[in-house]
Chains A and B, each alone.
Chain A
Amino acid sequence: MGHPEEASRFLANADRAKWHDQTLWMVRQKRDVATGFVSEWEELRSVASAIKEHTLSRLDDYLTEFESNALLNGIKVHWAENADEHNRIVLGILSRRKIDTLVKSKSILTEECHLNDFLQENGIEVIDTDLGERIVQFAKQPPSHIVMPAIHMKRGEISELFHEKLGTEKGNEDATYLTRAARKHLRDKFLKAKAALTGVNFAIAETGGFVVCTNEGNADMGVHLADVHIASMGIEKLIPRWEDLGVFTRILARSGTGQAITNYTSHFHKPRKGQELHLILVDNGRTKQLGREHFRSSLKCIRCGACMNTCPVYRRSGGFSYKSTVPGPIGSILSPGIDLKKYSSLPFASSLCGSCSDVCPVKINIHDQLYRWRQEIMQHNNGQVQGKIFSRMAGFLLASPFWYRVLSSMVTGISKVFPGALKNSFLVWGNQREFPPVPRQTFRDWFDQNAGKG
């Protein structure tokens, strides 16, 4: 099933769809308020975009600079070409230390690599420690949003889930009560875990260090208690200098949730005494995307989620309708690069309104890339011969004044003889909308009779 079918399913529950739309719209409004306090907001976006573009233009240099500085700091650096290599590296680190439990803070990259499934198949227990992620893990679901993974679930459903998994009181939907229960459960896991995995928001070539941003402090809780810290990062997370970081910490939370800054912005440079610190640099298709001229700049993404919150389609179709790790507008330009056929409906899941591009803190021209992917998909989609033939015919007819007139008089003529004909022939349009009434004369007829004379 493609996006339209999945979206229809989500919209079938009108109340939930409306609630989902309003909840995320509220986040967009918070973002508007938070960014409104920064008078140089547009300048910040330009600078952030320029830094990322520059970094991508010499990513190889910065990666090697980062690696050598990280090594000097005592970090063990690994390179993974794809998801499988990444997962095996993680398993290898855990196996060497005979560790069978891993606490994990939020990392969309590990979702992309399907790390949890892989580790569990290999006998490792994985505990997601971000509250939203723990909820979807309990529910055996993927995240539906990259910043708010359980945003599709209502409090009642979470209460039900916690009752089943954590033994909370049945029917108690008090948010503080439920959060405290989760905290107690997670603290127990943190205390027992010997290894912690985190994502990486920003890695700095100049220092060989990296930064993890969370709101719950769960990354720190895991890392500070564990003997082994594994950090996984996509190779595009790099920025050149220490002084560049401030630009990004200022835009990330404001764009994503409307906070001035994430509650925790944790800097890691070297392992603490007796700890092992591993960093895995993952490609998994990023180099390929870097090689695609029109789509290269999608790698500027800092995963703030603002384009999801603003997208009128995402808000009404839900994150699962995209069936890709990263949903929403940014996911719709990243995913076709991973599997063109599987994700071919995503670039069409947009009215091309452009709100995503205007809200993006690193100025990715998302709507332009959606348009561009549509061209790629139709060119490569050899299965759809009909569409190609139809488009060629339409292109020919619409470019010819003669045929354009013939078609035009057919529309007018048919509707004069059979007033209801148009309503039936444009079935989908007419499901819930009236067709425009066909006037007695076209503009051109009017022009010929009136203005065109003399």
Chain B
Amino acid sequence: MKIGLFIPCYIDQFYPRVGIATHQLLVKLGCDVHYVREQTCCGQPLANSGYEDSSRSCANRFINNFSDFDFTVTPSGSCAYHVRHHYDFIQQTSDVVHVRNSTLELTEFIVDVLKKPLPKVTFPHKVGLHSGCHGLRGLRLAAASETKESAFNKVEELLNAVDGLELVYPERLDECCGFGGTFSVKEEKVSVAMGNDRIHGFLEKDVAYITSADMSCLMHLDGLIRRQGLLVQVVHVAEILNESVYGAS
């Protein structure tokens, strides 16, 4: 089984540690992981801004890069959602259909495809789980609080296997953090209000870390946390599962 690793542009640039953790984790799980060096951006920032048309070449590039793999795996629910859900604006060739069906977010790939127990890891901390909306309601990584489906949560399933990790949720279980791509600058005031509310929901639960399967939400929350000097750290799920959280004991 050949796995193509898609590292979203902002992770490549700002959070290589998340890309590294994802790569190492997949290797540990025995995957044949490939990193296509021609990869760029999936085009989501443009498309969500109403410029789907201008992002056509990004989408085609994505398809070309990943059509030879059995699965394309990415540590971002948002990018996986964009490819799966929005790539209907390019011609639906067999390559496009294949890539759209086989592009998975990291945790759903581990839970739904690999179905293997994770290597034993320890993370003896109180951790709050933030469900990124595109992963939650787009990819259905978990049952959203609005729906009356029976409860499940793929990210939680993986984190529950981590030794010493105490998982908690804020009182508003899965409210949006307010990142939303260009929304974060177009609607800055609302975005910041949402982010602060989210952070305080976690602080109320006295967490040491906020984790998520989506680094973009965490980038927004981290920006607020560091500006305000709050005592909580953001960490991607892959870093916990790979036991490579920076500065953690």
Seen from chain A, the residues whose Cβ lies within 8 Å of a Cβ on chain B are 3-4, 7-8, 11, 17, 21, 25, 32, 35-36, 38-39, 41-42, 310, 312-313, 316-317, 348-355, 357-359, 367, 371, 374-379, 387-388, 391-392, 394-396, 398-401, 404, 408, 411-412, 426, 428-429, 431-439, 441-447, 451-452
Contact = CB atoms under 8 A, between A and B. Distances in A.
Contact of A313 (B51, B172, B187): B187
Contacts of B57: 395-396, 399-400
B133 interface: yes
Interface of B: 7, 9-17, 19-20, 23, 27, 35, 37-41, 43, 45-58, 60-61, 86, 133-134, 136-138, 144-149, 172, 175-176, 178-195, 197, 219-220, 222-224, 226-227
Given A374-B50, A434-B226, A452-B35, A395 B19 contact: no
Nearest to A7: B190
Contacts of A452: 35
B62 to A, nearest CB: 9
B190 A11 contact: yes
Contacts of A11: 189-190, 193
Contacts of B189: 4, 7-8, 11
B50 A355 contact: no
A239 B58 CA distance: 44
A438 B11 CA distance: 11
Contacts of A451: 23, 27, 35
15 contacts: A313-B187, A348-B183, A355-B137, A378-B50, A387-B51, A394-B51, A395-B43, A395-B51, A399-B40, A404-B9, A429-B184, A434-B226, A444-B12, A446-B16, A446-B19
Contacts of A317: 190
For B7, B58, B178, B190, which residue has the most chain A Cβ atoms within 10 angstroms?
Answer: B190
Given A399-B61, A401-B40, A435-B223, A352 B133 contact: yes
Nearest to B227: A434
Contacts of A428: 185, 188
A375 B50 contact: yes
B21 to A, nearest CB: 10
A446 B137 contact: no
A4 B186 contact: yes
Contact of B39 (A17, A358, A392, A401): A401
B16 A442 contact: yes
B46 A3 contact: no
B34 to A, nearest CB: 10
